[in-house]
Amino acid sequence: MTLIHVVGARPNFMKASPVLIALDDLGIDQSLVHTGQHYDASMSQVFFNELGLPEPDRYLGVGSGSHAYQTARLLEGLEDDFIAHRPEAVVVYGDVNSTLAASLVAAKLEIPVAHVEAGLRSFDRTMPEEVNRVVTDALSSLHLVTSPEAIDHLEAEGIPDDGIRFVGNPMIDTLDRVVPTLNPAETRGRLDIGDDYVLVTLHRPANVDIPSRATEIVRALHAASERSNLIFPMHPRGRASLEAAGIADIDRLVLIDPLGYFDFVGLLTDARAVITDSGGIQEEATVLGVPCLTVRPNTERPITVTQGTNQLVEPAELPDALDRALSTDQRLRDRPPLWDGRAGPRAAVAIADWLEVLRREP
């Protein structure tokens, strides 16, 4: 076995798909392991079907739990898998717990790791994803970078230049491939949504797990719903705590189940704005020219603020920020560099070159 790709959670799937397709075109032998960090059909299977990802070769069924519990199960499952299949190298994506676990297991087995979306930093270690990013990058030997500032972060952490390749953003390859095929009007009709709305996604622990913060968020959403219809597909993590904080499915705040990628991106394309705490949606909104209000004190994707449509807001600022976003004429700007729909092929070439170098090493 040449390569094992490890995916596990919703945001991994749209990053992995273009890289797998391009490596397949280069004839590289590869297999896909799904850890089962996300397991509900709406959080996992629907993405495989829509993105044309091959069925995973192995599914580890790790499931949910505390960070330690989940990571421990990931480590055990991935160690068995890597020992059984002995890949020449492992490819990991993004910043979820499956990413961290796969890089740690591989490093201990002396299997080289390539990290897709390396070098992003929020410099906020209270975010579990930031810990995952820092550890994964320290353990990886090939760092595939989506945005130029990531190169500086990696260099500052002592990563050698020859282990860094700026390939662009593979998630945008997936977006570009899918957008022309979408039918947002059909999605709206099926979900009984009008054509004038703001999309909402909030699920980060820092926003939904702390009751006082969840209450602040719910208050801000109710106030924002007086300015615009809000459509909120709820991640399972957020639902219980936001309901406990009093979120109500009212006329102008419509709470729905999580959506598949086609439905979500379709609704995003036509939205007047998006309110989010996701990482990937900041990037997608930038490329689609949709105003994005990110309810976080920081972002590991600053290029979406400096060259995109993104703005960081506190919950209390949300209603006014939404008013401003809705009244400002947004124009599509130039995309960030190398967010051109060709990142997957560049990543594949970088991985193939790296494998050649690994094979020459004693």
- Residues with catalytic roles: 203
What is the smallest separation between the CB atom of 278 and ligand UD1, expressed in angstroms? Answer: 6
Nearer to ligand UD1, 140 or 282 (CB): 282
Residue written as token pair 């850890």: 35
- SS3 label, residue 15: helix
Contact 347, 144 (CB under 8 A): yes
- SS3 label, residue 167: coil
**Torsion over CA of 317, 320, 322 and 325, rounded to 10 degrees?**
-110
- SS3 label, residue 200: strand
Residues 6+ positions from 267 with CB-CB distance below 8 Å = 184, 187, 188, 193, 197, 199, 231, 259
- Beta-sheet strands, E only, within the chain: 3-7, 30-34, 58-59, 89-93, 113-118, 142-145, 164-166, 198-201, 230-233, 253-256, 273-276, 292-294, 310-312
Nearer to ligand UD1, 9 or 268 (CB): 9
Give dist(CA 243, CA 93) in Å, integer.
Answer: 32
What is the smallest separation between the CB atom of 208 and ligand UD1, expressed in angstroms? Answer: 9
Using CB under 6 A, list all residues that contact ligand UD1: 9-11, 37-40, 43, 64, 70, 95-97, 128-129, 203, 235-237, 278
What is the smallest separation between the CB atom of 100 and ligand UD1, expressed in angstroms? Answer: 8
User: Could you tell me the strand order of the sheet in which 89-93 lies?
Assistant: 58-59, 30-34, 3-7, 89-93, 113-118, 142-145, 164-166
Nearer to ligand UD1, 88 or 243 (CB): 243
DSSP state of 192: T
Give dist(CA 220, CA 225) in Å, integer.
Answer: 9
Nearer to ligand UD1, 268 or 355 (CB): 268
Nearer to ligand UD1, 63 or 160 (CB): 63
What is the smallest separation between the CB atom of 21 and ligand UD1, expressed in angstroms? Answer: 22
Nearer to ligand UD1, 237 or 272 (CB): 237
**Torsion over CA of 215, 216, 218 and 223, rounded to 10 degrees?**
140
Tell me the Ramachandran region of residue 330: left when phi exceeds 0, alpha when psi lies from -120 to 50, beta otherwise. Answer: beta
What is the smallest separation between the CB atom of 136 and ligand UD1, expressed in angstroms? Answer: 11
What is the smallest separation between the CB atom of 12 and ligand UD1, expressed in angstroms? Answer: 9
What are the respective helix, strand and coil percentages of the chain, to the nearest 5?
50, 15, 35
What is the smallest separation between the CB atom of 43 and ligand UD1, expressed in angstroms? Answer: 4
Nearer to ligand UD1, 203 or 296 (CB): 203
